[in-house]
Structure 1
Amino acid sequence: MDKVHKYEEFVDRRLKPDLANAMAERDKVLEQQKIFLDLKKNILMLEKNGLTQLRTMVNLGSEVYVQAEVPDTRHIFVEIGLGFHVEFTWSEALQFISTKETVLARQVEEYTEQIAKIKAQIKLVCEGIRELLNLPVESLRATKKY
């Protein structure tokens, strides 16, 4: 029973938090992907419609908005990371977004693989617990918590 307790503790204190962290990190990357996809759509819409001026609402924070006028939309500032912004033309921004999408897709794949490995480890430990307790396979499936 001591081994069973150690295995259960390992799952609860190590593997489950690792799984939650990996899923949270993947969600952050997926959110970044969405932001860049939206930016790409907006740039393409500006190009398609030939909009070089724009009136918009800007969120100042806490859902407080102010009306803003953009006199020249042909140059935009894109956050490149760590709080830094770079001024791009539309074509430069689209190139940057393409590169960034590739990097983010790779990160999503890495986190997805990491999540799959952690889930496999949890399953392996649960199978070990089942064998130690001499339980049938069906009883383990009924109590699965992940």
Structure 2
Amino acid sequence: MDGLIQEKVQRFEEFVDRRLKPDLVHAIAERDKVFEQQEVFSNLRRNIENLEKNSVTSLQTMVNLGSEVYMQAEVPDTQRIFVDIGLGFHVEFTWSEALKYISIKEESLANQIQEYTRLIASIKAQIKIVCEGIRELLQLPAER
């Protein structure tokens, strides 16, 4: 009987270590990626609003060419901007069109964050349930 309990405990522990914990790490990493995307779009929205507020029609900026190598660039007309919409595609928008797209994208990203948060909570609950099952199998006293 004792060997059967040990075998069950071992299977539960393996399930937590090999399945639930990697799933949890993956879900947290994916949610963090969405948070980063949300921050990028939030910054873009703020920049567009600042350009509109200050009536900026041209500007000089530094452009990252890669590997932290920068070059000075001049933008003669800021009325239209290109927005990365994913999969390597960039769409030319006016400021108002870009703001509409950004608000839709931010809402979509917020929904994704909620879904990942629910998934993370579910995985944590599953881990807790399995750990509670192990505790009961080993007949350990409940933690307070």
Under TM normalisation by the shorter chain, which class is it? over 0.9
Match of 2:15 among 10, 13, 34: 10
1:125 and 1:77 map into 2 onto residues whose CA distance is 49
Offset of residue 80 of structure 1: 0.5
* Runs of at least 4 residues off by over 4 Å: none
2:91 and 2:16 map into 1 onto residues whose CA distance is 44
In the alignment, structure 2 segments of 5+ residues that lack a partner are: 1-5
- Matching residue of 1:39: 44
1:77 and 1:109 map into 2 onto residues whose CA distance is 28
Offset of residue 136 of structure 1: 1.2
Letter in 1 for 2:140: L
CA deviation vs aligned residue, 1:24-51 (integer Å, no higher than 9, x gap)? 0000000000000000000000000000
1:52 and 1:29 map into 2 onto residues whose CA distance is 32
RMSD of the alignment, in Å?
0.8
Match of 1:19 among 21, 24, 35: 24
Letter in 1 for 2:125: A
Offset of residue 71 of structure 1: 0.5
Amino-acid identity (%)? 72
Letter in 2 for 1:19: L
**Number of residue pairs aligned between Structure 1 and Structure 2:** 139
Offset of residue 2 of structure 1: 0.3
User: What TM-score do you get using the length of structure 1 for normalisation?
Assistant: 0.94
CA deviation vs aligned residue, 1:31-74 (integer Å, no higher than 9, x gap)? 00000000000000000000010100011111110001001011
- Matching residue of 1:84: 89
- Matching residue of 1:123: 128
1:63 aligns with 2:68: yes
